[in-house]
Chain A
Amino acid sequence: MMGISTRGHLSAFLLMFLIAACQLTETSLHEPEVIEDIDPEQAVLKAHMPDGGMYIFEEQWSIETTGENGDTTIVSGEAEKYDEERELIEESQVELDVGDVALFETNKVVSNPAVAAKTIITVASLGVTAYCAANPKACFGSCPTFYVPEEDTTRLRAEGFSHSFLPSLESRDVDMLYHFQPHDRELDITMKNEALETHVVRHVDLLAVPSPENGRIFKDQENRFWEVSHRTPPVECQSPGKECLAKLQEYNDREWYGSAGRESLDEQEEIVLSFEPDFDANAILIAGRHTLLTTYLFYQSLSYLGEDAGQWLARLESGDNLMQHTEVTRLAGLKVQIKTEDGWEEVDSITEYGPLAADIHLVHLPEINSDDAVQIKLQAAKGVWRLNHAALARTGQKREPESIPPHRAEPVAGGFDDALHSLLDPEKHLVTLPGEDYTLSYRLPEAYEEYDYFLDNKGYYIEWMRREWTEETEPEKFIELILDSSTVFERLARDFGEVEDEMEDIFWNSRYERRD
């Protein structure tokens, strides 16, 4: 009795936090020379003109480099034009030469950091309801998250088995810890369950592969590890309406991405990359992650199934392959094509799912002479991929990794003291519930700086049904999604378009976690 009262009280208290804390603004100034660093998806752009006038680009604006020598940068989009007295002059489609602008200002709405700092337990069931009620399919989900130390902080650098949402779909997932630089032989990785899901983890091991001199190790989609000593970024990148070259040259947190199709979710988009390698290339490296579109579709599928979801998932679990034909997976892939004398030839398709942490994939290509310019086309459904990096590469020897299991698994928030035994015993699983975190400790090889590291995890997860999802129970639409996805994709394009802009914020703010 007391427990219920306390929980209700806590929930109301959290609701007060969330409503009262609400939203702030973040304003930044940018000199015109660095306009390309601004992400058009993230902010309202104000262009201050030397005469005191101003243009406000509220949404759907872009930055493009034009001119014969690529020396003219244009900001374009729908804008409101004001004079120096702030009288609205006109609202129209504008193309603004960056050289004519005195200063750029970006403004965006951000969540109040007081919430993060002061909240002890964030987003309990009522919190989730409050934050996600409007768009429950935007709420945080998708598998265990792994936080890796980098400099003075820890960063989300890997996620586990994103598409393994049933025991029968238990699978292994290997993610490269590209940015991790060890400073000693001890590595602590935090594994979190931040979603309303039950995670069933078979193992979480570290793979160490000796790096070649002046090179690194990358993995292909079959989880084979290859030495790569030559890499070169693209010299040109064509993407209709969006600047992409600067975002893809280095592997960092900058991302190229766009909006989903407004007519249908399977509308396609493509990037054409040109390379001028000074070596014989035979592979391309592509780093990226999914947007939230596939997560939305997964939640939408569960929503269509509503209260019958358990029954339907049990059918899949018992071997009924009807659901395996769902065309949701059709949207997930990133096709890699190479330009040949006969036109574009598909060489592979990257299908790794997951919207949380970017990973880098090596895709094998036919042998390319260093004399030849190379063109690669990446094609995917619009708005499904966020890409961080692309580079042409030359693979060397295939290497075998050294597997390092954790020597310590300590519960940080909730969880079990004997977690380590569950992770080390191949017959057992470690089961984690929402809000539970573990610190997993690994001992690196003696020459720890001479290796590249990968996180190797295996398991599956069970999505918790949300009450909001059951309100949309329409199993016939789920059948339609399987058998005639075109119609459903057209309808969902409109629905998704309404939530797409705010989905990232809702998603990341609805993590189920404990904070100090």
Chain B
Amino acid sequence: MNEEIKYYNFLPRLWLILAAIWFSGCISMDVPDKFDNPAEEAVTHPYGKWVYVYSEEGFYQGELMAVEENKVVVREKNESLVHIDSQNVGKMKVRVVNTRAGRGVGISLLGTISTISHGFIFVISAPAWIISSIFIDTRNRNRGYEIWERGGDSSEALTAMRKHARFPAGLPEEKSEQRD
């Protein structure tokens, strides 16, 4: 009985810890629906991926048009093309695919509620559901993004991100001449 009381006293703290894990682990981007496609649609999508570019010149977001040796080109929401000097890019975040991670949340919730029927085993099974759900959901959510960061863990060059661009072979000549 005493054990049970201790457990219920611990619950509020547990929720706080779990909430902190949940929110701290998540990558998020505000991506227009047109660029937020699940895997089966993303593979045939003709556009570049939606990107956040953090550079010394400023923050830009839009469709990734090209990643060349000396510049990153982004088409912003207002359709203007922005050419960013590669040397100034500190970080790029790309929305690769919508993993539909949210679909797991409902199941997690149902699973957690179902532990009420487990009697005292609830003490073990409910936290097991919650903790595992948080880790799995966060991980799945994050897998929908790819991040390049200067000096980061990856040794890849910035140009490795060109595969997410509309023009991975480089901007066609006509567009190269357009500068906003």
Considering the chains assembled together, what is the distance between the CA atoms of A24 and B175 in angstroms?
Answer: 31
CB-defined contacts of B170 to chain A, threshold 8 Å: 102
Surface stretch bound by B, among A103-111, A291-299, A334-342, A484-492: A103-111
CB-defined contacts of B97 to chain A, threshold 8 Å: 23-25
Main secondary structure of the interface of A (DSSP, over half): mixed
Closest Cβ of chain A: how far from B123's Cβ, in Å?
14
Main secondary structure of the interface of B (DSSP, over half): helix
Closest Cβ of chain A: how far from B157's Cβ, in Å?
13
Residue B60 at the A interface, CB < 8 A?
no
Residue B91 at the A interface, CB < 8 A?
no
Query: Chain A: which residue is nearest B111 at the CB level?
Result: A12
A51 touches B46 (CB 8 A): no
A105 touches B163 (CB 8 A): yes
A24 touches B46 (CB 8 A): no
CB-defined contacts of A23 to chain B, threshold 8 Å: 38-40, 97, 99
Interchain pairs with CB closer than 8 A, number: 119
For the complex with contacts A20-B140, A23-B39, A84-B174, 5 further pairs of A-B residues with Cβ separation under 8 Å are: A20-B108, A21-B140, A24-B96, A52-B172, A109-B40
Residue A66 at the B interface, CB < 8 A?
no
Beyond A21-B140, A24-B99, A86-B46, whether A52 also contacts B167 by CB under 8 A is yes
B143 touches A114 (CB 8 A): yes
Residue A318 at the B interface, CB < 8 A?
no
B175 touches A27 (CB 8 A): no
Residue A308 at the B interface, CB < 8 A?
no
Beyond A22-B99, A27-B164, A105-B163, whether A84 also contacts B140 by CB under 8 A is no
Contact with B along A15-57 (1 / 0, CB 8 A): 1110111111101110000000000000110101011101010
Residue A112 at the B interface, CB < 8 A?
yes
Residue A13 at the B interface, CB < 8 A?
yes
Contact with A along B87-110 (1 / 0, CB 8 A): 000000000110111011101100
Report how many residues on chain A are interfacial, defined by Cβ distance under 8 Å. 42
Query: Chain B: which residue is nearest A5 at the CB level?
Result: B118
B44 touches A56 (CB 8 A): yes
Considering the chains assembled together, what is the distance between the CA atoms of A2 and B125 in angstroms?
Answer: 12
Closest Cβ of chain B: how far from A386's Cβ, in Å?
23
Residue A330 at the B interface, CB < 8 A?
no
CB-defined contacts of A114 to chain B, threshold 8 Å: 136, 139-140, 143
Report 16 cross-chain contacts, Cβ distance below 8 Å, ordered by A residue: A9-B114, A21-B140, A24-B39, A25-B39, A25-B96, A27-B164, A44-B43, A52-B171, A54-B46, A80-B46, A84-B172, A86-B47, A107-B43, A112-B143, A114-B143, A118-B135
A20 touches B175 (CB 8 A): no
Closest Cβ of chain B: how far from A199's Cβ, in Å?
32
For window 33-61 of B, CB contacts with A under 8 Å fall at 38-40, 42-44, 46-47
A52 touches B174 (CB 8 A): yes
Residue B132 at the A interface, CB < 8 A?
yes
B168 touches A103 (CB 8 A): yes
CB-defined contacts of B168 to chain A, threshold 8 Å: 29, 48, 103, 105
Considering the chains assembled together, what is the distance between the CA atoms of A24 and B108 in angstroms?
Answer: 21
Considering the chains assembled together, what is the distance between the CA atoms of A43 and B39 in angstroms?
Answer: 12
Considering the chains assembled together, what is the distance between the CA atoms of A389 and B174 in angstroms?
Answer: 47
Residue B129 at the A interface, CB < 8 A?
yes
The listed residue (A13, A46, A56, A58) touching B111 by CB distance below 8 A is A13
Considering the chains assembled together, what is the distance between the CA atoms of A86 and B45 in angstroms?
Answer: 10
Query: Chain A: which residue is nearest B49 at the CB level?
Result: A27
Beyond A12-B114, A19-B107, A20-B101, whether A50 also contacts B169 by CB under 8 A is yes
CB-defined contacts of A12 to chain B, threshold 8 Å: 107, 111, 114
CB-defined contacts of B16 to chain A, threshold 8 Å: none
CB-defined contacts of B47 to chain A, threshold 8 Å: 86
B136 touches A20 (CB 8 A): yes
CB-defined contacts of B118 to chain A, threshold 8 Å: 5, 9
Query: Chain A: which residue is nearest B100 at the CB level?
Result: A22
Interface centre among B46, B144, B172, B175 (most CB of A within 10 A): B46
B163 touches A16 (CB 8 A): no
Interface centre among A24, A44, A103 (most CB of B within 10 A): A24
CB-defined contacts of A275 to chain B, threshold 8 Å: none
Residue A82 at the B interface, CB < 8 A?
yes
Query: Chain B: which residue is nearest A109 at the CB level?
Result: B39
Beyond A25-B39, A27-B164, A48-B168, whether A17 also contacts B46 by CB under 8 A is no
CB-defined contacts of A13 to chain B, threshold 8 Å: 111, 129, 132
Closest Cβ of chain A: how far from B64's Cβ, in Å?
12
The listed residue (A5, A24, A27, A52) touching B163 by CB distance below 8 A is A27
CB-defined contacts of B107 to chain A, threshold 8 Å: 12, 15-16, 19-20
Query: Chain A: which residue is nearest B136 at the CB level?
Result: A20
Considering the chains assembled together, what is the distance between the CA atoms of A255 and B135 in angstroms?
Answer: 38
B136 touches A51 (CB 8 A): no
CB-defined contacts of B101 to chain A, threshold 8 Å: 20, 22
Considering the chains assembled together, what is the distance between the CA atoms of A118 and B164 in angstroms?
Answer: 27
CB-defined contacts of A22 to chain B, threshold 8 Å: 39, 99-101, 103, 140
Query: Chain B: which residue is nearest A107 at the CB level?
Result: B43
